[in-house]
Amino acid sequence: MEKGDVVSVVAVSGEYVGILDKIENDTVILQKPRMVIQTQEGMGFARGIAVTGEENPEEVLFSNVVFVVPTNDAVAKAHTEATTNIQLVK
């Protein structure tokens, strides 16, 4: 995993997808982070990472991360579409 890759972060508080900025010691910094949520229509992204937090924050620092993995292609494309005005070919 390299800076700029779309990754999935699993933390005690839930699962998040974003653009990897830095992994250092016990912290992970993501750009354009989104919390993964389940709805009746299937998986989607919340409009942020905390219910009472700022909507669509540009960056978040996670500590006490359980693990970080590359995001699968379908979710990475959905993240790009959710965080930009770009619609990718399916």
pTM over 0.95: no
Residues ≥6 apart with Cβ < 8 Å to 24 = none
Local confidence band at 86 (pLDDT 50, 70, 90 cut-offs):
low
* DSSP per position, 57-86: -SEEEEESEEEEEEPPHHHHHHHHHHHSS-
Q: pLDDT for 4-54, tens place per residue?
A: 999 999 999 999 999 999 999 889 999 999 999 998 989 999 988 988 889
User: What distance in Å separates the CA atoms of residue 89 and residue 87, rounded to the nearest whole number?
Assistant: 7
CB-based contact 8:30 (threshold 8 Å): no
The 10s digit of each residue's pLDDT in 22-35 is: 999 889 999 999 99
Among 27, 34, 3, 18, which Cα is nearest to 71's? 18
Q: What is the mean pLDDT of the chain?
A: 91
C-beta neighbour count of 33 within 10 angstroms: 26
